[in-house]
Amino acid sequence: MIMFPTHTIDSAPEGSKETLTAVEKAFGFLPNLAGKLAEAPTALDGYITLSGIFTGPKASLSPVEQQVVLLATSAENGCTYCGAAHGLMAHGAGLSRDDVRAVQAGQKISDSKLEALRAFATAVVEDRGWVKEADMEAFLNAGYTHAQVLEVIVGVAVKTITNYTNHIVRPALDDQFADFAVAEQAAE
């Protein structure tokens, strides 16, 4: 298997050091995924920038809604690393542990509006953007807006970057995310 380095701030290419320092400060540790992305400063900065836009002050989705989008995208893409990381973050944003597990498994969750969001984000990934009219109507009828349709697409794009990266570079799951490991990781 081809192995990608997991950089520290010291070993990272010069163009990644400042961003890795900010990531470590934000998380309190340096996630292995960030260490892998650091190999290409454009990949690391691209992900961090788009993620910041998705969760930034112009976003209309709440923090828990953002996490539902990211977690549902990770589940549909089969990314166990992001599933665990966003399981922790979704729970921290207010999603119950049972609902986190349900989203990780691609199953319905208890809150009907968040379920409409989960189903829509899943449909965007599954249908590669060719979302069925009924899926769009269900999302809008749940109280979401046309602008939020587009925000979901941004969230899917953010997570697709890291989901695909994880599939290729295979970072070890950080201990900090282990409590929310998805079924395949828990069995390893």
In a domain, residue 43? The reply is: no
Q: What is the pLDDT of residues 61-109, one digit of tens each?
A: 999 999 999 999 999 999 999 999 999 999 999 999 999 999 999 999 9
In a domain, residue 174? The reply is: yes
Q: What is the pLDDT of residues 7-66, one digit of tens each?
A: 999 999 999 999 999 999 999 999 999 999 999 999 999 999 999 999 999 999 999 999
| Sequence letter at residue 180 | F
In a domain, residue 56? The reply is: no
**pLDDT (mean) for 164-182:** 96
Rounded to two decimals, the pTM is 0.95
The CA distances from residue 62 to 31, 43, 48, 185, in Å, are 24, 26, 19, 28
Which residues touch 113 (CB under 8 Å, ≥6 apart)?
A: 142, 143, 144
* pLDDT at residue 2, as a whole number: 86
- CATH for 77: 1.20.1290.10
In a domain, residue 28? The reply is: no
* pLDDT at residue 184, as a whole number: 64
Q: Which residue segment(s) compose the domain that 159 sits in?
A: 61-187
**pLDDT (mean) for 108-116:** 98
* pLDDT at residue 109, as a whole number: 97
Q: How confident is the model at residue 1 (pLDDT cuts 50, 70, 90)?
A: confident
Element (H, E) at 126: helix 112-126
Q: How many domains does the chain have?
A: 1
DSSP label of 188: -
Q: What is the pLDDT of residues 124-148, one digit of tens each?
A: 999 999 999 999 999 999 999 999 9
Q: Are 80 and 87 in contact (CB under 8 A)?
A: no
